[in-house]
Structures are given as structure tokens and as C-alpha cells.
Amino acid sequence: MKSTYVDVLNLRRMAFVEISNMAYEDLDLNTLYEETFKMLPGEEAKYRDNIFHERAVLLERFRMALGLDPHTASDAGPITEGVEAANVDTNIYSPPLVDVIKIACNSCEPHHVKITDNCRTCIAHPCQSVCPKNAISLDKEKGQMVIDHDKCIKCKKCLNECPYNAIIETGRPCSIACGMDAFETDELGRAEINHDKCVSCGACMSACPFGAIADKSQIYQLIKSIKHGNDVVGIVAPSFAGQFGPLVKEEQVKEAIKRLGFKDVVEVGLGADLTTMNEAKEFVEEVPEKIPYMATSCCFSWKQMIDLLFEDQEHLVSDTSTPMMYTAEQIKKKNPDAKVVFIGPCVSKKLEALQEGVRDDVDFVITYEELMGMMISRDIEPSEIEIEGLEEMEDASLTARNYAYEGGVAEAVVARAMELNPDLDIKVENASGLHDCIKLMRLAKAGQKDGMLLEGMACQHGCVGGPGTVVPFNTAKKAVKNFSAESPFKSPAENTNIPKEDMPK
Amino acid sequence: MKIEICTGLRCTSYGANNIIQRVQDLLQNIDEYHVGEKDELEVKLLPCTSHCKDNTDAKAPIVFINDEMFSGAKSEKILEVILNKLEGENK
């Protein structure tokens, strides 16, 4: 998330705290409407044009935090319609995962180049002279140059030429952030996601300065599962280091999660070690003899993007399972009754967890931001937990913990492949952010990446830049590296937490 | 000048990260402001100070500038206070 979007983040996070509180306290969900008055009291709006609008948007956030679909202004039913369905202890997901809260959308104009009132209608008008489509003319009434948008091809030649910087390129932040070109416009000019194109990376959620895009949460049902006495086990993604305050140790985070009612907390890095070993083995055996190159398998949005846009390359994605999957399997192997909760920076893991072969092992997926809401609702303060006496976290190797940032996955796989065969010289290329991922795949498809290991991460900078994160990516990356250095295992093969029978042969 | 930023979970959730980033940016680029030197500022991150929980008037995020508490702190206000104080001190 963008830490500069302070008010947007506050509004999002308020909803997570409130819904967590309602779950823990067994409060009647039919009182959601009244709750908005407590959270946004008074007659004056703080964030939007009026207080009614503000409360209405908050209600939509509540609905999505409960896992329900958002309403639109024309929905005739009460805002609490269907809330009973949320009051269960299992995931209630129905598609789509990521959606526009229509009444929060500002109907920003789609991408275009425009001449602002900085225009002085100068005699030189270089904007006009450089335009290759003869799209710029003087509007005498407006007293400035204007662009005919039917003609404009957005080449931006004029933009660089204006001596008054009067020409700008602008558009919708959601659509600019979207690598899949999934944004369309509804009949009222509001953003609409084409769900056939969306891979649920969540980039639009982070980008919208009106907080108008959100994903559905599972915290309410998770808390119910905890309260019903299930053995709930949290598995924390490698990027968790540093997410809960700069002075908080990872062991304190683990203890804080346990105080929420979790029976245990295990690093997803444990499964990442299995991913590394299996993927390295697969690469060594298959590239270049059987397949020309191999793409990494751990990012679900990256894989979905390849499915949608590069169908003929799909078989070149590694068959190895993801760290989430391997970790969950290990937990369920020890305790088949456990309810496994993936805690990460990721939105699309919520979809990966519903896939066949995964859904039996992963019961819930939540983000760091949502987990933080749960902690705040219970007044749990990780920085205040006594460190002494806490068990050290030793689930994962150094290279597994580095999965959290761009380049880390490929680095781990290559290091492991070199252990298998020191003579190898594996070339790697990585891309982060779907725009760059798509560029990389185009080159790969054209045969320009043969022999290589291609690492793709849908979020910019990797998982540390994910939509469910709390701290800026560079701060998170530093924390991850510090935590990696503390691992007792330099190589995944040294990880004593992995049973011998599960080690790749 | 002593700047202390609370980094408890509520503060982290409601804007402390942005304040930390803005203050770090100021430290890095302080020459551009022509108001003072980097070493005039002592920035410290605090574990939870409990003010937002114990004191009904205080709201996260909490920042102290020379022991004066700013509750419900916004980065723009904190930076303004820091720059004004620096300017005053170096007049």
C-alpha cells in the first residue's frame, strides 16, 4: 500500500478493526448501520463531499470485509442484506474477489492528453506544429489551444514541446496501475473491472486515491473459526518481517498472532524451501533438453496472466507447488484437523487457495493489513510483548526468506541448482509488476529467453510491494534481509524441519 | 531538536509509516531547505507509548517534538513544526 495515502488507508483499516471486533464480541451484524455513526460521528464530512456519502461507503467496506459483495446506489434492499450468510466459520467467497465500490468511485476521466489553463495561446504554438494528427487548434471562446480527442493518438509530442508546461497526460490511477488492461467504463463513467481479464493482483486497490477498489476479506469467518475452538494455524509469508512496526521482532509477531487465538504460527518459508529444491531439480532436468526455458511458479497472478495472455507458453511454467501449498501440506500432515490460514501481502492467494488440490489444505487467506486490524481490535501490541522466553523462529532457510522480494526466488533456485551441479551457468531474468511481466513473456515467447529461468512477480518490487502490506517496500525489504541473515539454515537442503520423506529425491 | 515517533501498532496502522518516511526524506535532503544541518535533528522511533489507549484525548499516530506531544499527527503538520523550529533556532 502507498503509505502517503494516509486517509484512504485509515478508512480501509478502520473497517477491518470494526469487523474483527464484531466477530470477537459476537455483535449483531444487523447493527452495522449504527456502527457507521460511531465511527464517523457528527454532521460534517471529513473525507468526502458529505457525511451520508462517507457513511454509505464505509458500509460497503464493512460488507466487503465480511466477504460479501458491495452494493450499488440502486440496490433497494437494506445494506445489511445477506449478512446472515457471513456469520459462519468457513470461507464464504463468491466471485469476484476484487471489485469497484461504485458509490466511492470518482469517475475519473480515462487516459488522455489535455491542454490546461496554463496555455497562453502563444504565437509559436509548437504544440500544433509537432502534432502528427493535426489534432490541436485554437478555441477562441476558451482562449486556449484544445485537443480534438477523436484525432489525438496520445503520442505526447506536444507535451514535451510546450514552454509553459501547459499540457499534461492524465488518466485513471486504477487503469494506469492495471497491467492487464482490465478497466472499462460503466454507463455513468465509473471504473468497471472486466473480470475475464483481471488476475486479482490488487495493483488497482493500492493505486486508487479514493479508496474505491477493495477485495473481499475472510477475517470475520476466520475469527468465528477461532472462537469455535478449531486448531487454527497461521502460516506467515516471507514478507512478514518488519510489517508490524520497525522495532518489532518476528518472534513478537508470532506471539501476537497466537494471542489472537491461533494455536501455532509457521513460516511459509518452510514450504518455500521445498519449492526451491523441487524447482531447481525440475530446471536442471528439463532446461534446455525438454523445454526451452522455465518460468517460476510461486506467484498466482503471474501464472494467471500467462494462462490468459500466453496460453501456448503455459506448459513452460514450473510444475512445482507454491510455498503456501507445501507449507499447508506439512501442517495438515501433522494435524489433519488444523485450519490453515495463509497470512501474507497478497490478494491473489485468496484465489489460489480455492483451486482444486489447494482448497483442502488452505482454509483461509488474509493480509497483513487485515491481521493488523484483528490485533488492534484485541488491543494486542507486538512491541510490548516480552521477548525473553519466546521461542526463536527457525522454520526456513536464508534463501526461502528472501522469496519476499524481486529476484529472491530465482536467486534461491539458482543457488540450489548449483548445489546439484556446480558446473551450471544458469541465466536468470526477473520482472516485477504485471506490465514488466508481460514484456518479459513477450520476449520469452519470441525465443529470446531460451535457456533461462524467468522469475515473475505481479507486484512491483515483489511481495514486499504487495497490496496487503503495511510498510513501504524498501523498509520491508531491509527487514526481510535482516531476518534472512538470522536463519540457521544457509541452504534449503539443511532445513531440518522438512521430513526426510518429503525431500525431493 | 528531538523528534520521537511512536511505532506501536495503532500508530503504524494510522499513518506513522508516512511520518517516518517524510522525516527520513527531510534528513536526506535537508540541504535543499536551507534551514539547518542534519545533525541538529535527533530522530528516534519509540515502541508503543500507550497514549492512544490510556489517554482519551490522544489519538494515533503520536509524535513528540522536544517532548511536546502531537496526537493524531499528520506528516504535513509535523514537518512544518520541525522546519519552523529549525528556522527559528538558526535565525
Return d(Cα A391, Cα A234) in angstroms, integer.
Answer: 16
Q: Is the distance from CB of A54 to CB of A45 less than 8 angstroms?
A: yes
> Mutate which of A247, A372, A380, A473 to disrupt the B interface (most B C-beta within 10 Å)?
A247
> Mutate which of A1, A2, A3 to disrupt the B interface (most B C-beta within 10 Å)?
A3
Return d(Cα A252, Cα A245) in angstroms, integer.
Answer: 11
Of B12, B46, B75, the CB nearest to A470: B12
Kindly report the length of chain A.
505
Inter-chain CB pairs, A–B, below 8 Å: 63
Prior bond to B61 cis, omega within 30?
A: yes
Of A13, A380, A475, the CB nearest to B13: A13
Q: Is the distance from CB of B18 to CB of B73 less than 8 angstroms?
A: no
Tens digit of each residue's pLDDT (9 = 90 or more) over B44-81: 999 999 999 888 889 999 999 999 999 999 999 999 99
Nearest residue of A to residue B6, measured between CA atoms: A245
Of B13, B21, B48, the CB nearest to A383: B48
Return d(Cα A407, Cα A473) in angstroms, integer.
Answer: 14
Of A4, A375, A382, the CB nearest to B18: A4
Nearest to A318, CA basis, from A274, A362, A365, A358: A274
Q: Is the distance from CB of A306 to CB of A441 less than 8 angstroms?
A: yes
B-chain residues within 8 Å CB-CB of A380? 9
Interface of A with B in 343-362 (CB under 8 A): none
Question: Which H/E stretch holds residue A413?
Answer: helix A408-420
Phi/psi-derived region of residue A435, left when phi > 0, alpha when psi is between -120 and 50, beta in every other case = alpha
Low-confidence ranges of chain A (pLDDT < 70): none
Q: Is the distance from CB of A12 to CB of A214 less than 8 angstroms?
A: yes
Tens digit of each residue's pLDDT (9 = 90 or more) over B2-27: 999 999 999 999 999 999 999 999 99
Nearest residue of B to residue A368, measured between CA atoms: B13
pLDDT at A107: 97
Of A10, A246, A247, the CB nearest to B15: A10
pLDDT at A456: 98
Q: Which three cell numbers mark A67?
A: 466477504
In A141-199, the DSSP E strands lie at 144-147, 167-170, 183-185, 191-193
pLDDT at B90: 77
pLDDT at A1: 76
> Mutate which of B7, B17, B52 to disrupt the A interface (most A C-beta within 10 Å)?
B17
A-chain residues within 8 Å CB-CB of B48? 381, 383-384
pLDDT at A235: 98
Tens digit of each residue's pLDDT (9 = 90 or more) over A4-41: 999 999 999 999 999 999 999 999 999 999 999 999 99
pLDDT at A372: 98
Return d(Cα A368, Cα A239) in angstroms, integer.
Answer: 9
What residues contact residue A8 under an 8 Å CB cut-off, 6+ apart?
A208, A209, A210, A211
What distance in Å separates residue A73's CA from the closest CA in chain B? 29
Return d(Cα A213, Cα A201) in angstroms, integer.
Answer: 12
Nearest residue of A to residue B60, measured between CA atoms: A10
B-chain residues within 8 Å CB-CB of A4? 18, 21
Strand-pairing partners, residue A167, are: A115
Return d(Cα A183, Cα A194) in angstroms, integer.
Answer: 6
CB of A382 less than 8 A from some CB of B: yes
Task: Write the ipTM.
Answer: 0.95
* CA–centroid distance for B90 within its chain: 19
